[in-house]
A and B are shown apart, each in its own frame.
Chain A
């Protein structure tokens, strides 16, 4: 049983200062480009207060509510993978000298980041990427360093968006594990759940009191209320086999007629992990950088083998993405690759909703 404490709203700056004094750079929700995005903050004034978001397929609008609350919105366009699995990474450099080539590997020691405001679906996404990058024959040391250096302050969702379906994926809206601290925003302060010894060390100097029964029950009702608001569903019963049984369904082409193969869904997905590596020489070809950057199964070149892409149309690319995410991910990693965050629905420029597509694909054809 985790320890629960409470701090007042006016003690939130103390909490933040404690993170900073412990040597962490704090990454938290901020407002930029008319959206809530994750960026470094220096004080709680850098965080949105009194904002919510309206989300629909292909639609996101920030709205000012005028209240004083910090976390009354769902997930935005960014996910924490931006920090744990950065979109552009320099892996190594080769330099030509008179004696030949020297090769230098770039090791990312991992910045000490405190991620503040991690939602339950995002904790699930981190666990999924951990499995991809850390568990198996090949460990991504840079990811490992970044992950080890991070401190997780989760927040239980109070106001989900219309595109959230974490309840179907069994990942939220309440954070159950995978955090150092989990906060629930109450009417006058925060309930603080301590989820790790690291988290305990962090908050002990603050001397916050143990939470009361009333505060615990208010926190429960926040999560219950959030659960009730989540209306989008995806039937995951035997989904792997149902999808694999529909590889020739005519609906794949129906999606392909709408899909732009633009890669947005995979870029915003917090579990998509594909990347490609390229060698970038200078003009003289005396220095070559090896760079890794996010790639997507929606890029025609992604499946290029001996001259031509294996998946040479949008139908086969969409099918690859959806069946990997929801079906063959189980074969590969023993679980679904979807956490129900809804980002692929919101940030699809033509509003393709995978929950709707899955339902159509699982219907038998006449």
Chain B
């Protein structure tokens, strides 16, 4: 029996949902435990082992001064570091504070903001340390998560499909919610991996797996605006869990500019 893979799972600013995606792999967990030593997984076990780790999965974004140190310490003890989920990969929903007035937000949310140590930005892990692979999604897909662990176990190159959500809709007989119902959908711009779960339930994709490689956000927003949607309606589509993904951030900023220009011309 080869030595078990030492796995560490660490949490930064996040909701724990991506770690739950691993615990949701109920059928595979026992088999996984045969192959992997869960050396650091506080969400699942109070037994905590120190590093070094063969594989570390990072959930969450960097949002406090303490995070800045902790991520460096983890990286130093880690052979292969994989970020899991939109927070760790793109800053998460909490990155909406980036560029806004952080102090004002603090005052609005906390009665005593002076007790809270928080950075003015929420940033992806890759802004701070080198990352070997990024797994997208809010939350990540259990199948992709298991695949990454298996890839590391068997020394395979990390790889996940890079096509859009649309292909997954079509493969599963899901009728396009955008064409047949007029629901704005980010599916054509968004990387697959979720199994097209939102369109399957007749709602538009909200882009939780982040932009596809070479995505054309302008192509979609131009069409939707021509189709009668206003800029202000489209802004929330992009200001979501992947708001800091560069293509979505640029598009949101552009829509905000258009919206304020429209507002001025109305007056």
Q: How near does chain B come to A55, taking the closest CB pair, in angstroms?
A: 9
Q: Is B174 an interface residue (CB 8 A)?
A: yes
Closest chain A residue to B178, Cβ basis = A349
Q: Is B69 an interface residue (CB 8 A)?
A: no
Q: How far is the CA of A62 from the CA of B215 in the complex (A)?
A: 30
Closest chain B residue to A350, Cβ basis = B223
Measured between beta carbons, the chain B residues less than 8 angstroms from A134 are none
Contact with B along A256-271 (1 / 0, CB 8 A): 1111111110011000
A350/B174 contact (C-beta < 8 A), A35-B180, A300-B214 known: no
Measured between beta carbons, the chain B residues less than 8 angstroms from A58 are 178-179, 223, 227
Q: Does B146 contact A283, Cβ atoms closer than 8 Å?
A: yes
Q: Does B170 contact A268, Cβ atoms closer than 8 Å?
A: yes
Q: How near does chain A come to B146, taking the closest CB pair, in angstroms?
A: 6
Measured between beta carbons, the chain B residues less than 8 angstroms from A267 are 166-167, 170-171
Q: Is A110 an interface residue (CB 8 A)?
A: no
Interface centre among B35, B154, B162, B178 (most CB of A within 10 A): B178
Q: How near does chain B come to A363, taking the closest CB pair, in angstroms?
A: 22
Contact of A82 among B173, B175, B179 (CB under 8 A): B173
Closest chain B residue to A88, Cβ basis = B171
Interface residues on A, range: 35 or more
Q: Which residues of B contact A (CB under 8 A)?
A: 28, 31-32, 35, 146, 149-150, 153-154, 161-164, 166-167, 170-176, 178-182, 185, 187-189, 202, 212-216, 218-220, 222-223, 227
A264/B188 contact (C-beta < 8 A), A259-B219, A313-B214 known: yes
Q: Is A87 an interface residue (CB 8 A)?
A: yes
Q: Which residues of A contact B (CB under 8 A)?
A: 32-35, 37, 58-62, 77-78, 82, 87-88, 256-264, 267-268, 281-285, 293-294, 296, 299-301, 312-314, 346-351
Measured between beta carbons, the chain B residues less than 8 angstroms from A299 are 162-163, 167
Q: How far is the CA of A283 from the CA of B212 in the complex (A)?
A: 27
Q: Does B216 contact A259, Cβ atoms closer than 8 Å?
A: yes
14 contacts between A and B (CB under 8 A): A33-B175, A37-B175, A60-B180, A78-B173, A87-B171, A257-B216, A258-B222, A263-B164, A264-B176, A281-B154, A283-B150, A313-B214, A350-B220, A350-B223
A263/B162 contact (C-beta < 8 A), A314-B214, A349-B176 known: no
Measured between beta carbons, the chain B residues less than 8 angstroms from A347 are 176, 179
A-B contact count (CB 8 A): 128
Q: How far is the CA of A262 from the CA of B166 in the complex (A)?
A: 6
Interface centre among B32, B181, B216 (most CB of A within 10 A): B216
Closest chain A residue to B200, Cβ basis = A33
Closest chain A residue to B163, Cβ basis = A299
Q: Does A349 contact B150, Cβ atoms closer than 8 Å?
A: no
Measured between beta carbons, the chain A residues less than 8 angstroms from B164 are 260-263
Q: How near does chain A come to B5, taking the closest CB pair, in angstroms?
A: 11
Q: How far is the CA of A60 from the CA of B183 in the complex (A)?
A: 12
Q: Does A258 contact B223, Cβ atoms closer than 8 Å?
A: yes
Measured between beta carbons, the chain A residues less than 8 angstroms from B146 are 283
A260/B216 contact (C-beta < 8 A), A77-B175, A77-B180, A281-B154 known: yes
Measured between beta carbons, the chain B residues less than 8 angstroms from A293 are 171
Measured between beta carbons, the chain A residues less than 8 angstroms from B202 are 33
Q: How near does chain B come to A265, taking the closest CB pair, in angstroms?
A: 10
Q: How far is the CA of A58 from the CA of B28 in the complex (A)?
A: 42
Q: How far is the CA of A256 from the CA of B227 in the complex (A)?
A: 19
Measured between beta carbons, the chain B residues less than 8 angstroms from A257 are 216, 218-219
Q: How far is the CA of A121 from the CA of B175 in the complex (A)?
A: 21
Q: Does A350 contact B219, Cβ atoms closer than 8 Å?
A: yes
Q: How near does chain B come to A290, taking the closest CB pair, in angstroms?
A: 16
A349/B171 contact (C-beta < 8 A), A262-B166, A283-B31, A284-B35 known: no
Q: Does A294 contact B166, Cβ atoms closer than 8 Å?
A: no
A37/B35 contact (C-beta < 8 A), A58-B223, A349-B185, A351-B223 known: no
Measured between beta carbons, the chain B residues less than 8 angstroms from A33 are 174-175, 180, 202
Q: How far is the CA of A314 from the CA of B188 in the complex (A)?
A: 13
Measured between beta carbons, the chain B residues less than 8 angstroms from A314 are 214, 216
A261/B214 contact (C-beta < 8 A), A87-B170, A285-B150, A296-B163 known: yes
